[in-house]
């Protein structure tokens, strides 16, 4: 598995202000459940830190992280959800990204995010098994 060493900070958004907006959107829409550092809540909310960067090693995983209900059904626009997802990847998974990682765009998110999964656990299991089969060291089962 090839991991990128490049920090996302310079590639995922043009301006520092964009990162600040994305962080504010994370705080307002996601942090209440996922925690300030993506740590989650043991037994209830899966950790994003140390996990989210591994999902983007497959196209199914790339879809998974924007189609889970918390992301898919959020009030964020497609552009805003793309920016929040790029922020989470940069802050919680920067050292796990594939070497050819491309930041999400609003149009990609628009194509992927709906409908929200009705059975997240089943989809997640399939996504994780496929990634593991390709040697990506997915960590957290639940
Ligand atoms: C009400 C609590 C809650 C909020 C708010 C929330 N989530 Fe979640 N999130 C969860 C739960 C619970 C899961 C586990 C899957 C499920 O049951 O939906 C999850 C799973 C995820 C996952 C997949 C993690 C994994 O390892 O499977 C991602 C990515 C994610 N959420 C992103 C977001 C984003 C982005 C936002 C804000 C726009 C957000 N979530 C808001 C509760 C929440």
What pLDDT score does 12 carry? 53
Please report the pLDDT score of residue 17 as a whole number: 76
pLDDT of residue 139: 81
What local confidence, expressed as pLDDT, does residue 15 receive? 65
Question: In this predicted structure, what is the pLDDT of residue 140?
Answer: 74
The rounded Å distance from CA 2 to ligand 1 centre is 26
For 47, residues 6+ apart whose C-beta sits below 8 A from its C-beta are: 38, 39, 40, 140
- Residues with C-beta less than 6 Å from any ligand 1 atom: 29-30, 32-34, 45-46, 51-52, 65, 68-71, 74, 76, 84, 120, 124
Average pLDDT, the chain: 90
Per the CB < 8 A criterion, the answer to whether 117 and 69 are in contact is yes
pLDDT lower than 70: segments of the chain:
1-15, 142
* Closest residue by CA, ligand 1 atom 2: 33
**Contact present, 55 and 127 (Cβ < 8 Å):** yes
| End-to-end Cα separation, the chain, in angstroms | 24
């Amino acid at each position: 598995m090839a991991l990128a060493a490049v920090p996302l900070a310079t590639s995922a958004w043009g301006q520092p202000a964009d990162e600040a907006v994305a962080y504010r959107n994370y705080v307002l829409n996601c942090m209440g459940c996922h925690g300030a550092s993506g740590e989650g809540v043991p037994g209830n909310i899966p950790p994003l830190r140390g996990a989210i960067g591994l999902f983007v090693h497959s196209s199914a995983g790339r879809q998974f992280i924007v189609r889970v209900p918390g992301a898919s059904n959020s009030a964020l626009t497609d552009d805003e959800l793309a920016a929040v997802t790029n922020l989470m990847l940069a802050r919680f998974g920067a050292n796990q990204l594939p070497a050819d990682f491309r930041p999400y765009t609003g149009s990609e998110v628009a194509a992927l995010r709906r409908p929200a999964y009705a059975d997240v656990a089943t989809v997640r299991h399939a996504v994780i098994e496929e990634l593991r089969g390709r040697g990506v060291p997915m960590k957290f089962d639940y």
